[in-house]
Amino acid sequence: MKLGFYPGCSLQGTSREYNESVKALAPFFDIELIDIEDWNCCGATAAHSVNKDLSLALPTRILALAEKQGMKEIVVPCASCFNRLSVTQYELAEDKELKKKITDTIDMPYEGTVKILNVVQFIDQYIKDKLTEKIVKPFNYKVACYYGCLLVRPHKILKFDRVEDPTSMDELMKMIGSTPIEWGFKTECCGAGLSVSRTDLVAKLSGNIVKDAADRGAESIIVACPMCHSNLDMRRPEINKYLKEDVTVPVIYLTQAIGLAVGADPSKLGLQRHFVKVTTL
Amino acid sequence: MSRIGVFICHCGENISATVDCERVAQEAGRLEGVEFATDYKYMCSDPGQTLIKNAIKEHHLDGVVVGSCSPRMHEATFRKTCAEAGLNPYMCEIANLREHVSWVHEKGEATTRKAIQIVTGLISKVQRNKPLNTIKVPVTKCALVIGGGIAGIQTALDIANCGQKVIMIEKSPSIGGHMSQLSETFPTLDCSQCILTPRMVEVAQHPNITLYTYAELDKLEGFVGNFKATIRLKAKSIDYSKCTGCGLCTTKCPNKKIPSEFNEGLGMRTAIYVPFPQAVPNKPVIDKEHCLYYQKGKCKICSKSCPTGAIEYDKPDEFMTIEVGAVVVTTGFNVLKTDFFPEYGYGKYKDVITGLQFERLASASWPTLGEIRRPSDGKIPQKVVFIACCGSRDPAKGIPYCSKICCMYTAKHAMLYQHKVHGGDSTVFYMDIRAGGKNYEEFVRRAIEEDHVNYVRGRVARVYEKDGKLIVKGVDTLLGAEPVEIEADMVVLATAGVASKGAEELAQKMHISYDPYHFFAEAHPKLKPVETNTAGIFLAGACQAPKDIPETVAAASGAAVKVVSLLSQENLVREPIVAVVNRCAPPLFSTCVGCFMCETICPYHAIEHEEIKDRKTGAVIKTIAKINPGLCQGCGTCVSFCRSKSIDLEGYTNEEMYTEVMALLNH
């Protein structure tokens, strides 16, 4: 089974381990993920804050490339890339004139036929059914599933999971033997791109998330977004300074947790790359 | 040769400011068949109408075209004028020169030309018009009221007090509806039960009202004045003629853990139960879904304990057919519950409750006798947060409309809480305070100023539990969008009012229309607020949209008057604008081929089968469609569907309409 794959910039840099873990997981389920050739940046937050046309043209080019390369479905692990690609596809489908303008800009044919999957949808569709039988080492920890802002929003376009109280990751974690906690911070903002310019705010926002998870006895926080991950993980020193305590609960990707459960090599899953040390029992 | 009169109205300046009315009259006067044409400032006024009447008599007119406002406004007026002058009213046509011309165009030559064209078209049409006579239908002098809440109770009592018979059906074991569940009512804080229960008793005892509880509408056939309703009388498993309502059975029933509907799931009831102590009728029914006998075949404890031997198991539902002249639908509403608000933790935390549940907690008929204690541990909550607009005005939740009653009942809840828990602290999160109504705004101010309820303008993002407290995270948009966090003991959600369960199905049974939210649609939002598009079926109360008690009662009385005015007539007079299947000489009899396509698409089920028989032998020669003029609403759908062009709509026949169109095009 072959599927298209759009890594995006984060997965090449700060969250290499996310990329590694998705790629490491695929072969267990006979899936081959093929990178879109000559892919470009999705524009992320930067493009749509300054230039709407640009913010649509960048994702359109990616989708047009996927079409050209014969891909029917593409997996987009980064929550922000997934959001930008989905929003672009929706806006161009809704507005024919806009579609013409953008396709003229990128000077490529674009139909909007590629199905875009985030990591949870990808697992739901292609892994979930075979997951139980593949488990060799149940991930039997108490976990806090953290969805962040972008994975399930905007609901109008994505129509995926319950927007205010998503449960899709919790369900998957239960399947691999974990106990997801009930908590109030599933979709609270981590501070996102303010990580660089207002680290103090990120320390506060992410700090509240980490603290609630830790207070409720979570042994790890499960994420599916590179931005969330870097804020909860890389900013832990600032967070702990803000909290005035030493919170050591690790933050791992959904794909890493499932990877461990199906017996993937921890180093192939990139577990050694986290700032907050992950110790497996 | 026709003798048509043309009367062009200036409508003050409404038409004459953009249309040259004098010229329209002059040009019309030159057309073939026009005998008389004039213009006048106010044609609908007394002198204007007299002008028309005199012209009809003086010039022996056989048709009239009035160029004025929309026919919806004054068609009836001018047709009456013509009738008074001896002309058949259906020989009068209205050219809409206001809504279709002067109000939508600039002043100019083209505008006047358009007016002339419209008038010309109708002059041609009216020459083809045939005199029509109104249709008379007999009336069954009895009304059916569906739903026994305050809307149904008020409607039934008003109709019955006018001397007409009423049959009321209610699907639950008791009448009373949501109002019987309420504690106090805004804006007077009088006890809901105190004002409602006497009326419930009155319904049960009124000589003109027959009450059937535990009963639902199964089928509705017929038409205005002549409905035939089939009612399902659900088996109560108790012979009410023997039952004395002593209640012994309910104390003996072993299954005591069924969430009580009356107490919104906060309290429990038995399988054989009376919904609440003041129920009417005050006799129990057996809930078969939870009864051990019905589920497992054993028990019968209620039967053994009954001193009069009134329990009768295994009786099937019965069906009853009744004939009524009018129907009033008063099936009320529901409030959202379940996990519609996962972000507010409803269904997860016991102390996050709906407004209706709070009504029960605060009610004198609650086990604590009205002392407010929270559901989880029975403690008196010291800090309560009320969240308004839960679901309402939120397109993302699929409910863009305002539920209307929540602002007021939330103020009432907070007030009741402050009155009952001295030193307690209450906060209301709101979007806007919508307190339109007599003494409503004053009531809300009283909650804020005298009872010191803390009103915070802003939305709540999330409610979650931490260390035994409910953390309410919101924002105060009036204080610089500052985030607010409150540690509450109880949270009350003012959840959206939605259509009652099964509303869509009921509407389809009765062929009345409903909106996208399954609320029933009135015939006109302003001028026909209690009528439906189906003649003889009326609406009242919250089945149309969320409504408070005063508004519901007003609508109920309005619907009652409509019913009484219908039932007080010997015969109903209806507009003759109905579809007719043509008939012609033998051997054809009619061009109708009996395909009955019309039957499949008629929204009013007005198509019947007519057998044409040989006069001598009685053998059926042909079966053709026949339209029941009592049921037909003149929509014309059958006309467009008829493959052999055998159906015509009286007043708008194909011939008449084509003539009008040809005149428009040729002019």
Is residue A145 located within the same domain as residue A181? yes
Higher pLDDT pick, B155 / B223: B155
Domain assignment present for residue B310? The answer is: no
Is A182 in Cβ contact with B462 (below 8 Å)? no
What's the CA gap between B536 and A197, in Å, rounded?
Answer: 69
Domain assignment present for residue B315? The answer is: no
Is residue B622 located within the same domain as residue B541? no
Domain assignment present for residue A92? The answer is: yes
Q: For the segment B313-331, what is each residue's pLDDT rounded down to a tens digit?
A: 989 999 999 999 999 999 9
Final residue in a domain of this structure, among B440, B474, B498: B498
Does A216 score more than 90 pLDDT? yes
Torsion sign across C-alpha atoms B68, B73, B79, B85: negative
Is residue B482 located within the same domain as residue B353? yes
Name the minimum distance, in Å, from the CA of A216 to any CA of chain B: 9
Domain assignment present for residue B660? The answer is: no
Is residue B47 located within the same domain as residue B83? yes
Domain assignment present for residue A166? The answer is: yes
Q: For the segment B445-458, what is each residue's pLDDT rounded down to a tens digit?
A: 999 999 999 999 99
Domain of B525 in residue numbering reads as 142-216+326-332+500-567
Query: Mean pLDDT in chain B?
Result: 94
Name the minimum distance, in Å, from the CA of A191 to any CA of chain B: 15
Is residue A163 located within the same domain as residue A72? no
Q: Does A165 touch chain B (CB under 8 A)?
A: yes
Is residue A100 located within the same domain as residue A141? no
Final residue in a domain of this structure, among B483, B498, B513: B498
Is residue A90 located within the same domain as residue A213? no
The reported pTM is: 0.80
Domain assignment present for residue B490? The answer is: yes
Name the minimum distance, in Å, from the CA of A214 to any CA of chain B: 13
**Closest to B464 (Cβ–Cβ): which among A156, A162, A183?**
A183
CATH number at residue A58: 1.20.1050.140
Domain assignment present for residue A127? The answer is: no
Examine the predicted complex and report whether its ipTM is higher than 0.85: no
Domain assignment present for residue A124? The answer is: no
Is residue A84 located within the same domain as residue A156? no
Name the minimum distance, in Å, from the CA of A165 to any CA of chain B: 6
Is residue B476 located within the same domain as residue B553? no
Provide residues of B within 8 Å CB-CB of chain A: 341-343, 348, 396, 462-466, 471, 473
What's the CA gap between B163 and A13, in Å, rounded?
Answer: 85
Nearest CA in chain B to A154: B396
Tell me how crowded residue B525 is: count the other CB atoms within 10 A of its CB. Answer: 10
Domain assignment present for residue B434? The answer is: yes
CATH number at residue A172: 3.40.50.11810
Domain assignment present for residue A279? The answer is: no
Is residue B419 located within the same domain as residue B359? yes
Is residue B342 located within the same domain as residue B481? yes
Nearest CA in chain B to A155: B396
Residues from chain A that touch B341, judged by Cβ atoms under 8 A, are 164
Percentage of chain A modeled with pLDDT above 90: 86
pLDDT tier, B574 (very low <50, low <70, confident <90, very high otherwise): confident
Name the minimum distance, in Å, from the CA of B347 to any CA of chain A: 13
pLDDT tier, B342 (very low <50, low <70, confident <90, very high otherwise): confident
Q: For the segment B141-193, what is each residue's pLDDT rounded down to a tens digit?
A: 999 999 999 999 999 999 999 999 999 999 999 999 999 999 999 999 999 99
| Contact status, residue B475 vs residue B221, Cβ threshold 8 Å | no
Least confident of A181-195, B269-283, B637-651: A181-195
Is residue B416 located within the same domain as residue B540? no
Is residue A28 located within the same domain as residue A59? yes
Domain assignment present for residue B285? The answer is: yes
Is residue B350 located within the same domain as residue B465? yes
Which pLDDT belongs to residue A158? 84
Percentage of chain A modeled with pLDDT above 70: 99
Is residue B361 located within the same domain as residue B450? yes
Nearest CA in chain A to B339: A165
Domain assignment present for residue B404? The answer is: yes
Domain of A101 in residue numbering reads as 2-119
Does A281 score more than 60 pLDDT? no
Number of domains in chain A: 2
pLDDT tier, B369 (very low <50, low <70, confident <90, very high otherwise): confident
Which pLDDT belongs to residue B223? 86
Size of interface A-B (CB pairs under 8 A): 25
Higher pLDDT pick, B136 / B89: B89
Is residue A75 located within the same domain as residue A172? no
Final residue in a domain of this structure, among B567, B594, B619: B567
Domain assignment present for residue A278? The answer is: no
Domain assignment present for residue A39? The answer is: yes
Looking up tokens 């609630």 gives A212
Torsion sign across C-alpha atoms A232, A235, A241, A245: positive
Query: Mean pLDDT in chain A?
Result: 93
Mutation choice for B interface testing from A147, A158, A164, A187 by most B CBs within 10 A: A164
Is residue A147 located within the same domain as residue A269? yes
Number of domains in chain B: 5
Q: Does A217 touch chain B (CB under 8 A)?
A: no
Mean pLDDT in residue range B243-263: 94
Is B471 in Cβ contact with A184 (below 8 Å)? yes
Final residue in a domain of this structure, among A119, A141, A164: A119
Considering only CA atoms, which of B513, B201, B501 is closest in space to residue B332?
B501
Domain assignment present for residue B240? The answer is: no
Residues from chain B that touch A163, judged by Cβ atoms under 8 A, are 396
Q: Which stretches of chain A are assigned E, i.e. beta strand?
A: 2-5, 32-35, 73-75, 115-117, 142-145, 179-180, 220-223, 251-253
Q: Does A159 touch chain B (CB under 8 A)?
A: no
Final residue in a domain of this structure, among A78, A94, A119: A119
Is residue B357 located within the same domain as residue B432? yes
Domain assignment present for residue A281? The answer is: no
Residues from chain B that touch A212, judged by Cβ atoms under 8 A, are 466
Considering only CA atoms, which of B486, B430, B481 is closest in space to residue B462?
B486
Is residue A27 located within the same domain as residue A137? no
Nearest CA in chain A to B460: A164
CATH number at residue B557: 3.50.50.60
pLDDT tier, B339 (very low <50, low <70, confident <90, very high otherwise): low
Q: For the segment B290-301, what is each residue's pLDDT rounded down to a tens digit?
A: 999 999 999 999
Which pLDDT belongs to residue B338? 60
Which pLDDT belongs to residue B539? 97
Is residue B358 located within the same domain as residue B479? yes
Q: For the segment A52-87, what is each residue's pLDDT rounded down to a tens digit?
A: 999 999 999 999 999 999 999 999 999 999 999 999
Tell me how crowded residue A139 is: count the other CB atoms within 10 A of its CB. Answer: 23
What's the CA gap between B413 and B361, in Å, rounded?
Answer: 10
Q: Does A244 touch chain B (CB under 8 A)?
A: no
Contacts with B203 (C-beta within 8 Å, 6 or more apart), sequence order: B148, B153, B156, B157, B168, B175, B209, B211, B280
Nearest CA in chain A to B348: A182
Final residue in a domain of this structure, among A60, A90, A119: A119
Does A45 score more than 90 pLDDT? no
Give me Rg for the CA atoms of chain B: 31
Q: For the segment B255-270, what is each residue's pLDDT rounded down to a tens digit?
A: 999 999 999 998 899 9
Is residue A249 located within the same domain as residue A153? yes
Which pLDDT belongs to residue B106? 95
Q: With the CA atoms of A271, A277, A278 and A281 taken in that order, what torsion angle do they form, in degrees rounded to the nearest 10? A: 130
The order of strands in the sheet holding B226-233 is B215-223, B226-233, B318-324
Is residue A81 located within the same domain as residue A169? no
Is residue B342 located within the same domain as residue B475? yes
Tell me how crowded residue B35 is: count the other CB atoms within 10 A of its CB. Answer: 18
Is A165 in Cβ contact with B342 (below 8 Å)? yes
Mean pLDDT in residue range A37-56: 92
Name the minimum distance, in Å, from the CA of B403 to any CA of chain A: 22
DSSP code at position B260: P
Q: Which stretches of B271-325 are assigned E, i.e. beta strand?
A: 272-273, 285-286, 318-324
What's the CA gap between A147 and A166, in Å, rounded?
Answer: 7
Name the minimum distance, in Å, from the CA of B366 to any CA of chain A: 32
Is B462 in Cβ contact with A164 (below 8 Å)? yes
Does A170 score more than 80 pLDDT? yes
Is residue A72 located within the same domain as residue A113? yes
